[in-house]
Structure 1
């Protein structure tokens, strides 16, 4: 039976794989009260997304309901007919998915997509619908709502698309909002803006929120209660403060201990010549061409100069569009600079391009798209050794297998393909490819942003151990300041294609001078270990 005081009651919910009967969600119980914000946390594969999709009967075809009930306003959703479910989805329960670009129709204007829900669920006239849409777009921070109506999704940034998704859901004033990793792909400032906006809108309408995330600091900041799931089972639930300060289950303690914390200060030799020097780098992207004229060029980098010393890890941080990835790709030779020069060990990299490319490797954000799906793991790592001189075929094979062992995979993974690996394992393969040549310089572009908290901790520990073992210099590009605080020796802050502040890590984090740096740091909540297996929440620069 459901609790009449609860908006949503999930009772003993179980889901199985249809063809094998293997359980993926087992006897899950939780409640959401009207106006409450409840979090569901856990690693990838914990069943949190499947359990919440069952609330609106949107489980994948290969999954079947094996038991339990889901009561929404006292009625069992699992027994509802399709017509009632259509009214429930959108009209009563709204959903914001992780990637708005896949949720928004690329062939329809924003105005048509926002109007669609109002046509289905309300009896408003066209004039009323337009007024309500413009009002909501203004509330979510769109600068020109009228122009937005005729624009398409690809014309907006990730943060703007997520605001539009929020607008489309909140237009219908749902009683419950399911937010599935709503800020995973966004930078720090936009993450906080989107979350604050979501909380503001839901409070104004009295909407309850079910927040699914592996971002523990964000869950800690915005939820009243949260549920911890592991392998389809709820292992712990309670008030946010109680679980954070005194977690009872070992898995919850494991999640909390996997959060990034500040590493030790390392002594870096800055007397000898830098390993990499970028001098006055300017990058211009050509403007969009039309039938009669050529568009104005867009300047992505405005005279950037950077030094990276031997064995140093330099973190490049900034919001989306700040130019940090462009700078990394320019240093790697993947983007042609319009002017400026890149020096490798004091000499122009163009004087011996082959030597530079052999010693400069890159780890990309998404390993699945950077690894050839037709090649085995062994072949992918061995391919990186193809042009290494003075290595025989037998030595290349041994080096490839040894490198797989170093990244924690071993020869048991050698004959597998990328799709047979988890996200964390694929990122280990990408790191193995990069270090197989024993390069002197490595560029890591958001290498852990797509990983959940425990896998991220494992990959960061692996990265740190390899860096200590081989002593390579590294440009570490990230918008996750918690990760930066753990791995970086020095931090460079970029905004709009310019460096606004740089210095050693402790100075930047403890005493930032630039207003934009302070804004970045203040956008990220921090969790500090309290000595009893729990953590305490604080905002950086909270004064």
Structure 2
């Protein structure tokens, strides 16, 4: 029998969950129920959840937003709002039931024995306190260290998590650190009191692939070295495959599948797990095909669910699914809450998306250049060393030459600070370049008269990363989609505009009743679809997608990616797709450009760049990106670029990557390499290639 990955399935006892030889659990959650009292009534966020965590073990909680992952973690930490929530069941940590403890008793455990790394360090760190004070505070509170002892321990912790020059950085503030460095500070705070358990809630969501790899490699090494247990909450299945020992899949507040990481990925026995795995673009797969996205939305947690909570979205549902399934052992030693797990095991049931997932989509053929960037440069002038410091130049984009063909998708990747978003802003004419030109359909956009520039604004639109902050909270969906038509006077009558709004909402897969709702009444995927509908309202020719799917759950992300591919084919659209998820970029792009510190490092067709990367930086990016395949991840070494990106105020001489490049020589540090064509259509800016 073959498994989910097409490999031969090895025999396994169906009677024992794969925890043989594991010590007594450090954390044991039993029959956990969490309810919130809201204006909509009682919301059951977590329903009868059970799991254990052994000492030194790494487990992962996965599932869509609203599945109960973070609420379960906050229950363990005792951080649920007291005014409107109630947790029942038992959470036994090191022999004590945490739900029976009062707030004072919890404070002696929280931070000392159990710590939490939150999703967004910029909002979790106090902006008015120095980094040093924030690391020192738990040391003095829980361990009673003197100021000198606490400072010495803080310096030791900062060195441990890879922060250079820790003595001088103690007095820095959070805004003076990069995203990766702030996350390292959060890890240092989490490790400060030598806890027994760390809960990491989406610890790398906002991080680039290289920083993500550095952070997670560090956390894994520390858990192994110090015997710390780790719970990772994430929707990145590549991270789960690379680092977790066991995985727990949650849906609608319930556990629907659990078990050993290899078994769950190779032989999933629940349709929801199958759907999640098939919704993920894979870095190691080249064919551009439709993803088997999970259509629809999770059930409303304020309403009672009589049967299987996944039944309305499941392609395998039958009459018995109207009854609630139990979490039971499968033939591979995992546990699944599905009546048809045996049929799945026998290969009788294959996941097929109602939207035709798995179908190969042909790449658009090369046409004439629609967008041409020539020697494009953008500099910002900032003060160095505080408000009284001297003026310094930040070169966000430097001498960029790039063409985007009509009808193609150009993927633009690189670490934060490399200039990706600045390129997008320049193309949208939000900023003006310091030097160089942008030509659209043969015309320099900054030489256009008022009427032609208005037409350019009409033809070029944007899909933002965060739809919630980019949509007006005081306008309905219909008003937001209609607004560009009013501004550009494309539809004269109100009736024509309303017809156009209904048509656009239908094209992006939204029901007509959505038109009268406000952004806060929509899910993340629905808000992103509204952003896409708004971008399409003027029938544009070119769309800048700035991290358009990075904030979405795996299943919603798959839906939006399929939608973007369909719309491109239907309307002959051209995309600039800015992202840090290399698997998504490979799936959707025609060609891919790699940037580093404002400069172009490599440019090639999608398959050529991913299969034959030539620049050392591109290789490091691809090596750092995880693949949702535990067997493959266990075999390949993880290589990460050493150090941090240099300050753009003081970039390296010569090649900007020379300070982190494993191949750098004295020549690299003296000469700025220019992109040159080393193969047909394959450009590399490296003197070693």
When the two structures are superposed, what TM-score results if normalisation uses the length of structure 1? Answer: 0.95
- Supply the distance in 2 between the matched residues of 1:251 and 1:86 (Cα, whole angstroms): 37
Give the aligned partner of residue 363 of structure 1. Answer: 463
Q: Does 1:7 align with 2:26?
A: yes
Residue aligned with 2:538, SS: coil
> Cα distance 1:535–1:435, how it changes in 2: closer, same or farther (>3 A)?
farther
What is the correspondence of 1:173-252 to structure 2 with a 5 Å cutoff? 173-252=194-273
Q: 1:28 aligns with which of 30, 43, 49?
A: 49
Aligned to 2:115: 94
Deviation for aligned residue 1:294? 4.5
By how many angstroms is 1:538 displaced? Answer: 7.0
1:265–1:494 CA distance, 2 compared to 1 (3 A):
farther
Q: CA deviation at 1:271?
A: 5.0
Greater displacement, 454-463 / 402-411: 402-411
Q: Which residue of 2 aligns with 1:305?
A: 401
Query: What is the CA–CA distance in structure 2 between the aligned matches of 1:288 and 1:232, rounded to whole Å?
Result: 50
Q: Deviations over 1:216-275 (max 9, x none)?
A: 110111011011100000011110011011011111111111111441574544453x11
1:118 aligns with 2:139: yes
Contact 2:371 2:405 in 1 (8 A): yes
Match of 2:663 in 1: none
Q: CA deviation at 1:74?
A: 1.4
User: Which aligned pairs between 1:7-406 and structure 2 lie closer than 5 A?
Assistant: 7-19=26-38, 20-61=41-82, 63-261=84-282, 262=286, 263=288, 266-270=362-366, 272=368, 274-288=369-383, 294-350=390-446, 351=448, 352-389=452-489, 391-393=491-493, 394-406=495-507
CA separation of 1:391 and 1:197: change in aligned 2, threshold 3 A = same
SS at match of 1:119: helix
Written as runs of structure 1 = structure 2, the 5 A alignment for 1:487-498 is 487-498=588-599
Distance 1:462 1:98 in 2: 28
Shift of 1:103: 0.9
Report deviation, 1:391: 2.5
Which deviates the most, 371-380 or 263-272? 263-272
Secondary structure (helix, strand or coil) at the match of 1:251 reads helix
Three-state SS of the structure 2 residue aligned to 1:30 is strand
Structure 1 pair 384–541 and aligned structure 2 pair: CA distance change class (3 A): farther
In structure 2, relative to structure 1, the CA distance for the partners of 1:390 and 1:8 (3 Å cut) is: closer
For residues 62-108 of structure 1, what are the alpha-carbon distances to aligned partners after superposition, in whole Å with 9 as ceiling and x for unaligned? 65335310000111100112222001000000100000011110010
Check the 8 A contact 2:31/2:89 in 1, yes or no.
Answer: yes
Q: Which moved more, 1:38-47 or 1:127-136?
A: 127-136
Q: CA–CA distance in 2 between the matches of 1:464 and 1:538?
A: 33
Give the TM-score normalised by structure 2.
Answer: 0.75
1:33-54 CA-to-partner distances (Å, cap 9, x unmatched) read 0000011111000001101110
Q: Distance in 2 between matches of 1:276 and 1:540?
A: 39
CA distance in 1, matches of 2:501, 2:110: 51
Count the aligned residue pairs: 535
Residue 452 (str. 1) matches residue 452 (str. 2): no
What is the 5 A alignment of 1:528-539? 537=633
State whether residues 367 and 406 of structure 2, in contact with CA within 8 Å, keep that contact through their aligned partners in structure 1: no
Tell me, yes or no, if the aligned pair for 2:371 and 2:441 is still in contact at 8 Å.
yes
How many angstroms apart in 2 are the aligned matches of 1:58 and 1:419?
Answer: 24
Contact 1:526 1:540 in 2 (8 A): no
| Structure 1 SS opposite 2:65 | coil
CA–CA distance in structure 1, aligned partners of residues 637 and 88 of structure 2: 48
Cα distance in 2 for partners of 1:279, 1:541 equals: 39
Cα pair 1:525 1:540 within 8 Å, conserved: no
Q: Is the 8 A contact 2:490 2:538 kept in 1?
A: no
Determine which structure has greater relative contact order: mean sequence separation of CA pairs < 8 Å that are 6+ residues apart, divided by chain length: 1
| Cα distance in 1, alignment partners of residues 158 and 58 from structure 2 | 23
Whole-Å separation in 1 of the counterparts to 2:103 and 2:612: 57
Name the SS of the counterpart of 1:254 in structure 2: helix
Counterpart Cα distance in 1 of 2:387 and 2:244: 52
**Structure 1 contact 526–539 (Cα < 8 Å) conserved:** no
Provide the rounded CA distance (Å) in 2 between the counterparts of 1:539 and 1:510. Answer: 18
Corresponding residue of 1:507:
608
| Unaligned 5+ runs, structure 2 | 1-21, 289-359, 640-689
Q: Distance in 2 between matches of 1:195 and 1:169?
A: 14
**Equivalences for 1:467-486 in 2 at 5 Å?**
467-486=568-587
Give how far 1:354 is off.
1.2
For the 8 Å contact 1:87–1:121, the answer to whether it is kept is yes
- Asked if the contact 2:382/2:393 (under 8 Å) is kept, the reply is yes
TM-superposed CA distance for 1:17, in Å, is 1.9
Distance 1:157 1:191 in 2: 13
Is 1:525–1:538's contact at 8 Å kept on the other side of the alignment? no
CA contact (8 A) 2:239 2:628 kept: no
Taking the TM superposition and a 5 Å limit, the aligned residue runs for 1:420-435 are: 420-435=521-536
- Taking structure 1 as reference, are residues 239 and 277 closer, same or farther at Cα in structure 2, changes over 3 Å only? same
Q: Does residue 413 in structure 1 map to residue 518 in structure 2?
A: no
Query: Does the 8 Å CA contact 1:524/1:539 hold for their aligned counterparts?
Result: no
**CA–CA separation in structure 1 for the residues paired with 2:429 and 2:620:** 32
Question: What is the deviation of 1:21?
Answer: 3.2
Q: CA RMSD in A?
A: 1.9
Corresponding residue SS for 1:287: strand
